[in-house]
């Protein structure tokens, strides 16, 4: 290891408290991208990041889009070697149900964990502000020790990842030349466990859809009309129930068309990870895997497509009771896709499935949300090999190459629009409660993450 890298790592260790304070500034901004009320907070987060990056010798700016701003920065140092693009997002998920948060979601706190170590609590701590700041702080240490990172670094911070990235494709097309570099580093994924670093090479795709079913032309009294009038909540429940068979398979015609079995080599590697299914489920209060029968839990979440109802709305939801038959009912639904599935065809098949089950006097209105295919990365590229070694050195454990049930559409966009591969490296952990109340990020993730990026930058320079 070079003296320079040693100095960078020492600088990171010495500056950890200050790094944490900067992260807390960002965590205090409620940059919920899906909620129009928080648009000013997204702008504030983007502006703050621009200020930080300019202070580190980058040429940074916040670009307006029809939605939230996109931050782009380029390192000014005229070094040789490869050119990388770092991607993370500064927007966060909504915080409801707010009542379940033990501390206010936008008042971050460092607390001692019962299991040892410390946790950073707050919305975005793990997804993705904490991860985003690991790279910023690594650049800060390199700046202090060596005037800047040892390779050319560009940065792309998005503000709409949690709301389907509606502005991203047009932006990538418009900035293709500026953003097409050797390799993208995407920091929005997990470690394998708290001590084992991981590079994620398979991601599921995502189709988001909302359906609103209309039966009667108004809400009805359930006594005066109950028994004769169609109830859209019953109708919706029936359609959603019919979408899954008792073995956990999705029944939409064509849903599994093109879905491959994973190669034996990959399966062997996953078996080698000694994943503890019982512990995985126990952590979330469950015991029985709910997915396709005959598949391991890792298969169910990494390599098999699925469908989830993310919300149902209809009728009376207030306190007490109301004997109403609603005129309308709606559901938000998401499909996680694997390689071989076409998001456009899946959406159409879902709509056909619903429409075929509507009585002639009822109707459905569909709304499209996100649409992203699954992606997978080659396991033998030079960047992956170097990153894997750098991570192993930092964590003292071999780096796992894993799948993920989540979806990071930008990985597909980088390939499709910029012809650029991505390396997915992140330091979150499965119990970080992302998208849930009481989201947290281990201090060890934050600290080790900063150190990992410092090492990866060095490894890419060599």
Query: What is the closest distance, in whole angstroms, from the C-beta atom of residue 255 to its own copies in the complex?
Result: 13
Distance of CA 98 to the CA centre of its chain: 21
Query: What is the closest distance, in whole angstroms, from the C-beta atom of residue 121 to its own copies in the complex?
Result: 14
Query: What is the closest distance, in whole angstroms, from the C-beta atom of residue 100 to its own copies in the complex?
Result: 7
Buried b (16+ CB within 10 A) or exposed e, 321-357: eeebbbbbbbbbbbbbbbbebbbeebbebbbebbeeb
CA distances from 383 to 152, 377, 422 (A): 15, 11, 9
Query: Which of 129, 433, 447, 451 touches its own copies (CB under 8 A)?
Result: 433
Residues in the chain: 462
Q: Which is nearer to its own copies, 34 or 194 (CB)?
A: 34
| Count of alpha carbons within 13 angstroms of residue 106, beta-carbon side | 16
Most distant pair of Cα atoms in the chain: their distance = 82
Nearest C-alpha neighbor of 250 from the set 161, 334, 173, 170: 334
Nearest C-alpha neighbor of 365 from the set 230, 215, 250, 255: 215
Q: Which is nearer to its own copies, 154 or 300 (CB)?
A: 300
Q: 457 preceded by cis ω (within 30°)? A: no
Distance of CA 418 to the CA centre of its chain: 21
Stretch that binds its own copies, among 54-62, 105-113, 344-352, 426-434 (CB under 8 A): 426-434
Structure tokens at 440: 């947290």
Letters for 58-87 (x = contact with its own copies by CB under 8 A, - = none) are: ------------------------------
Restricted to residues 156-185, the positions that interact with its own copies (CB under 8 A) are 162-164
Restricted to residues 193-232, the positions that interact with its own copies (CB under 8 A) are 204, 206, 208, 210, 215-231
Restricted to residues 113-152, the positions that interact with its own copies (CB under 8 A) are none
Query: Which of 97, 116, 378, 396 touches its own copies (CB under 8 A)?
Result: 97
Q: Which is nearer to its own copies, 281 or 389 (CB)?
A: 281
Q: How far apart are CA 143 and CA 56, in angstroms?
A: 7
Tell me: does residue 406 bind its own copies (CB under 8 A): yes
CA angle 103, 108, 114 (to 5 degrees): 65
Nearest C-alpha neighbor of 80 from the set 216, 182, 231: 182
Query: What is the closest distance, in whole angstroms, from the C-beta atom of residue 129 to its own copies in the complex?
Result: 16
Q: Which is nearer to its own copies, 91 or 394 (CB)?
A: 91
Helix (H, G, I), strand (E, B) or coil at 323: coil
Contact by Cβ (8 Å): 255, 349: yes
Distance of CA 250 to the CA centre of its chain: 23
Q: Which is nearer to its own copies, 137 or 439 (CB)?
A: 439
Stretch that binds its own copies, among 137-145, 174-182, 380-388, 432-440 (CB under 8 A): 432-440
Q: Which is nearer to its own copies, 69 or 148 (CB)?
A: 69
Contact by Cβ (8 Å): 143, 55: no
| Phi, psi angle pair for 358, to nearest 5° | -90, 130
Letters for 251-290 (x = contact with its own copies by CB under 8 A, - = none) are: -----------------------------xx--xxxxxxx
Structure tokens at 372: 């992203």
Tell me: does residue 440 bind its own copies (CB under 8 A): no
Q: What is the DSSP letter of 90?
A: -
How big is the chain by its Cα radius of gyration, in Å?
Answer: 23
Tell me: does residue 110 bind its own copies (CB under 8 A): no
Restricted to residues 336-375, the positions that interact with its own copies (CB under 8 A) are 336, 359-362, 369-370
Query: Which of 10, 13, 55, 96 touches its own copies (CB under 8 A)?
Result: 96
Size of interface with its own copies, in residues (CB under 8 A): 100
Q: Which is nearer to its own copies, 286 or 348 (CB)?
A: 286
Query: What is the closest distance, in whole angstroms, from the C-beta atom of residue 305 to its own copies in the complex?
Result: 8
Q: Would you call 365 exposed, middle or buried from its count of C-beta atoms within 10 A (0-12, 13-18, 19+)? A: exposed
Structure tokens at 352: 């056909």
Q: Which is nearer to its own copies, 143 or 328 (CB)?
A: 328
Structure tokens at 56: 């580190």
Q: Which is nearer to its own copies, 52 or 127 (CB)?
A: 127
Q: Which is nearer to its own copies, 78 or 241 (CB)?
A: 241
Query: What is the closest distance, in whole angstroms, from the C-beta atom of residue 15 to its own copies in the complex?
Result: 31
Query: Which of 238, 253, 340, 381 touches its own copies (CB under 8 A)?
Result: 238
**Paired residues of 111 in beta bridges:** 119
Stretch that binds its own copies, among 7-15, 409-417, 419-427, 431-439 (CB under 8 A): 431-439
Query: What is the closest distance, in whole angstroms, from the C-beta atom of residue 40 to its own copies in the complex?
Result: 17
Query: Which of 404, 444, 445, 452 touches its own copies (CB under 8 A)?
Result: 404
Query: What is the closest distance, in whole angstroms, from the C-beta atom of residue 367 to its own copies in the complex?
Result: 9
Contact by Cβ (8 Å): 120, 443: yes
Letters for 283-322 (x = contact with its own copies by CB under 8 A, - = none) are: -xxxxxxxxx----x--xx--xxx-xxxxxxxxxxxxxxx
């Amino acid at each position: 290891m070079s003296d320079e890298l040693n100095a960078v790592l020492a600088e990171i260790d010495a500056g950890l408290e200050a790094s944490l304070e900067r992260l807390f500034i960002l965590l205090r901004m409620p940059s919920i991208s899906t909620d129009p009320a928080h648009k000013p907070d997204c702008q504030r987060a983007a502006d703050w990041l621009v200020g930080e990056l300019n202070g580190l010798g980058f040429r940074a700016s916040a670009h307006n889009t029809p939605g939230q701003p996109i931050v782009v920065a380029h390192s000014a140092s005229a070094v040789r070697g490869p050119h990388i693009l770092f991607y993370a997002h500064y927007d966060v998920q909504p915080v409801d149900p707010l009542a379940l948060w033990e501390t206010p979601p936008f008042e971050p706190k460092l607390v001692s964990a019962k299991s040892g170590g410390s946790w950073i609590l707050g919305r975005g701590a793990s997804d993705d502000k904490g991860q985003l700041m690991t790279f910023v702080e690594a650049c800060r240490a390199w700046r202090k020790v060596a005037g800047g990172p040892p390779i050319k670094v560009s940065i792309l911070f998005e503000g709409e990842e949690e709301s389907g990235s509606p502005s991203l494709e047009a932006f990538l097309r418009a900035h293709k030349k500026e953003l097409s570099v050797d390799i993208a580093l995407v920091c929005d994924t997990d470690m394998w466990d708290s001590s084992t670093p991981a590079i994620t090479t398979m991601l599921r795709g995502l189709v988001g859809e909302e359906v609103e079913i209309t039966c009667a032309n108004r809400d009805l009294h359930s006594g005066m009309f109950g028994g004769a009038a169609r109830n859209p909540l019953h109708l919706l429940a029936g359609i959603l129930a019919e979408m899954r068979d008792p073995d956990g398979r999705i029944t939409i015609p064509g849903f599994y068309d093109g879905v491959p079995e994973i190669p034996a080599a990959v399966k062997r590697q996953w078996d080698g990870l000694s994943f503890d299914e019982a512990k995985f489920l126990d952590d979330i209060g469950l015991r029985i895997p709910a997915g396709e029968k005959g598949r391991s839990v890792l298969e169910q979440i990494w390599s098999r497509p699925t469908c989830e109802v993310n919300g149902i709305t209809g009728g009376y939801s207030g306190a007490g009771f109301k004997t109403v038959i609603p005129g309308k009912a709606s559901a938000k639904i998401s499909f996680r896709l694997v390689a071989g599935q076409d998001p456009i065809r899946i959406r159409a098949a879902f709509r056909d499935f619903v429409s075929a089950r509507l009585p002639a006097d009822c109707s459905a209105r569909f709304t499209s949300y996100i649409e992203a295919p699954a992606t997978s990365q080659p396991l033998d590229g030079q960047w992956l090999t170097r990153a894997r070694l750098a991570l192993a050195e930092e964590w003292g454990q071999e780096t796992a190459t894993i799948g993920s049930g989540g979806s990071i559409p930008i990985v597909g966009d980088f390939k499709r629009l910029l012809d650029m591969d991505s390396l997915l490296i992140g330091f979150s952990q499965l119990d970080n409660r992302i998208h849930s109340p009481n989201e947290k990020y281990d201090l060890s993730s934050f600290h080790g993450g900063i150190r990992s990026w410092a090492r990866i930058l060095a490894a890419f320079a060599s």
